[in-house]
Amino acid sequence: MAKVLTYEDGIAAVYGGAILGGGGGGLLEEGLKLLEEIFAAGDPQLVDLTELDGQDLVACVAMVGAPSAADQYISNEQLCWSYRNMNTHTNHRLKGIITNENGAITTINGWLQSVLLKVPVVDAPCNGRAHPTGIMGSLNLHEQEDYQSVQFYAGGKDDFAVQGFVEGPLQNTAKTARQASILAGGLVGVTRNPVTIDYLQKHGAPNAITMAIELGYRFLNGQTFDDKLTHILQQLNGVHIVTGKVQHYSLTKENGFDVGKLSVGDYDLTFWNEYMTLSKEGQLQSKFPDLIMTFDTEKMLPVPSASIKEGMHVAVIHVDQSHLKLSSTMQNQELLKEIDEVIKGVL
């Protein structure tokens, strides 16, 4: 039976999602703003994977674009347009919605559509942490022989408004949706790549939404920042790496992504939307898909890479990937190779 989510669950999901975003997955304030809109419309429903038949179809909804884009805009009509058209494309076989990843916004991707379209959110995102590219959230479908990706996208307003449909090899459709996000002012809502529950069980991240909600409650229940940090490190089996002032922060936008670096104490971090590497004195300490995350110690908030400022006082944590709920794509070395090429440009 589907669980009716409360507003408090939503707050926890946004905060827990922000932490599991690992530097990406959307801005905290935007997630909280979206939450108000969701619960003003009604109560979303979350259903466990086991409640559905193995051959039932679900489709992924995602926000594609650069988190720092100033002109981003997506309306409710655009969100529903992409899902309705995908349902028509599948001869009305969709039984639920999944999100692409965990993040401040992405954990609650699909909750508004759940309310507006009376469709449950399935607790099995394409990935249990945030990731930079669309194909990393595509369940290794690109390795299925003769697989053709289907994506409906819409976003932007006034002269930036775009909507469309693309079908083809997954690499091409993912790049098309990314390019559409740039044309739309920075962001598009996408409904893409229907899969069976059986396939999702094998390649997705079952119960990762519940994990984000539980993590968010643990964080919010802390009275001091030290309490909050201790709670989440216990929950995730994580490690506090360093606390200090941000130095040498840089961010550039490249092909719809935020790419950059920063230093805290003796440690250097790089990001490609999400944090990619953690190094100390030139020696690599950790690399994506391990979770590297920053927290504003003064405001006691998780802070993504796009919101970091020079001189901000932050704490850096690390969680080994073995303690996360990850998609099969996070072990796909061909997909992970792209990280080195991008990060090479900022080192």
What does the pLDDT look like over 140-172, one tens digit per residue?
A: 998 998 889 999 999 999 999 999 999 999 889
Hey, what are 266's tokens?
A: 């003796």
291 domain-assigned: yes
109 shares a domain with 153: yes
* Exposure class string for 110-143: b at 16+ Cβ within 10 A, else e: bbbbbbbbebbbbbbbbbbbbbbbbbbbbbbbbe
**Average pLDDT rounded to a whole number, residues 62-71:** 74
251 shares a domain with 192: no
pLDDT of residue 341 exceeding 80 = yes
Q: Kindly report the backbone phi and psi dihedral angles of residue 293, in degrees, each rounded to the nearest multiple of 5, phi listed first.
A: -145, 150
**Cβ distance 289 to 131 under 8 Å?**
yes
Mean pLDDT (the chain, rounded): 94
pLDDT of residue 347 exceeding 70 = no
231 domain-assigned: no
State the pLDDT at residue 66. 66
Name the pLDDT band for 269 (thresholds 50, 70, 90).
very high
pLDDT of residue 241 exceeding 90 = yes
Q: Into how many domains does the chain fold?
A: 2
Hey, what are 189's tokens?
A: 């809502």
Tell me the residue type at 148: Q
State the pLDDT at residue 70. 75
pLDDT tens readout for residues 284-322: 999 999 999 999 999 999 999 999 999 999 999 999 999
Residue positions counted in the chain: 347
247 shares a domain with 120: no
Domain boundary among 163, 191, 208: 208
196 shares a domain with 57: yes
pLDDT of residue 67 exceeding 60 = no
**Average pLDDT rounded to a whole number, residues 275-287:** 96
245 shares a domain with 195: no
260 domain-assigned: yes
Q: What's this model's pTM, rounded to 2 decimal places?
A: 0.91
243 shares a domain with 201: no
228 domain-assigned: no
State the pLDDT at residue 228. 98
Name the pLDDT band for 69 (thresholds 50, 70, 90).
confident
129 shares a domain with 19: yes
State the pLDDT at residue 171. 83
pLDDT of residue 68 exceeding 90 = no
23 shares a domain with 154: yes
- The percent of the chain in helix, strand and coil, each rounded to the nearest 5, is 40, 30, 30
For residue 111, the 8-state DSSP code is H
103 shares a domain with 174: yes
Higher pLDDT, 234 or 282: 234
Closest CA to 290 of 16, 7, 90, 23: 23
Domain boundary among 208, 230, 260: 208
Q: Which of 204-213, 247-256, 262-271, 322-331 has the lowest mean pLDDT?
A: 247-256
99 shares a domain with 35: yes
pLDDT tens readout for residues 19-47: 999 999 989 999 999 999 999 999 999 99
232 domain-assigned: no
144 shares a domain with 23: yes
**Average pLDDT rounded to a whole number, residues 189-205:** 96
State the pLDDT at residue 318. 98
CATH number, residue 187: 3.40.1610.10
Residue 285 CA: distances (Å) to CA of 10, 105, 281, 282? 34, 28, 10, 9
182 shares a domain with 83: yes
Domain residues for 278? 239-344
- State the Cα angle at 174 between 168 and 175, rounded to 5°: 100
225 domain-assigned: no
Name the pLDDT band for 277 (thresholds 50, 70, 90).
very high
Residue percentage of the chain with pLDDT more than 90: 84
